C-alpha cells in the first residue's frame, strides 16, 4: 500500500529525468492527471497520455529536454505531505526561485500552477515545487 501517491509520481519523474529517459509510466489518478496538465501548460513536459489497463490505468508522461539534451526539470519536490498539509491563500502563494519556477496547487477549480492560481485569485493546497 502506498501512503503518498503524489510523492511517488514526483520521484518517478525525478528519477527518469536524472537518467534522461524519454518518458515515464505512472499509475493513473485524477490528481496525477491534473498535475501532468499543469506541468504541460507551464512547459515542463511535452505531453502525456492515459493508457487503459486492468486493474489500473497508466499515465505516460513524455519528458522534455533542451536542444542539447539539457534538463528542463532541474528540481521537483513535494511541499504538502500527508502528515503536514500546507495551504495558502491566493495573496500568499510563495514564489519559486523569484518567479523562475512554479508551484502546483490543488484548488477548488482544479489543479493549477501558482501563476494560474494568482491570476484567478484562488488558493489551496501547495502540492509541489518545480524549477
Average pLDDT, the chain: 95
Kindly report, residue by residue over 61-94, the tens digit of the pLDDT. 999 999 998 999 999 999 999 999 999 999 999 9
**Structural domain harbouring 106:** 5-130
CA atoms of 30 and 89, how far apart (whole Å): 23
Non-local (6+) Cβ contacts of 38 within 8 A are 102, 104, 111, 112, 113, 116
Note the pLDDT of residue 1: 58
Judged against a pLDDT cut of 80, whether residue 101 lies above it is answered with: yes
CB-based contact 81:4 (threshold 8 Å): yes
CA atoms of 123 and 120, how far apart (whole Å): 9
Residue 41 backbone phi and psi in degrees, to 5 = -60, -35
Q: What percent of the chain has pLDDT over 90?
A: 93
Q: What is the CA 126 to chain-centroid distance, rounded? A: 11
Kindly report, residue by residue over 46-68, the tens digit of the pLDDT. 999 999 988 899 999 999 999 99
- Domain of 83, CATH number, reads 3.30.1490.10
Confidence of residue 2 (pLDDT cuts 50, 70, 90): confident
Number of compact structural domains in the chain:
1
Confidence of residue 108 (pLDDT cuts 50, 70, 90): very high
Amino acid at each position: 500500500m502506498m501512503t503518498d501517491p503524489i510523492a511517488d509520481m514526483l520521484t518517478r519523474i525525478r528519477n527518469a529525468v536524472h537518467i534522461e529517459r524519454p518518458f515515464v509510466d505512472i499509475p493513473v489518478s485524477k490528481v496525477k492527471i491534473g498535475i501532468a496538465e499543469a506541468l504541460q501548460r507551464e512547459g515542463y513536459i511535452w505531453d502525456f497520455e492515459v493508457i487503459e489497463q486492468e486493474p489500473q490505468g497508466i499515465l505516460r508522461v513524455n519528458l522534455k529536454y533542451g536542444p542539447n539534451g539539457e534538463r528542463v526539470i532541474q528540481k521537483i519536490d513535494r511541499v504538502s505531505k500527508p502528515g503536514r498539509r500546507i495551504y495558502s491563500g491566493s495573496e500568499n502563494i510563495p514564489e519559486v526561485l523569484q518567479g523562475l519556477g512554479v508551484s502546483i496547487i490543488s484548488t477548488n477549480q482544479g489543479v493549477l500552477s501558482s501563476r494560474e492560481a494568482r491570476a484567478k485569485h484562488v488558493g489551496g493546497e501547495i502540492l509541489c515545487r518545480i524549477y
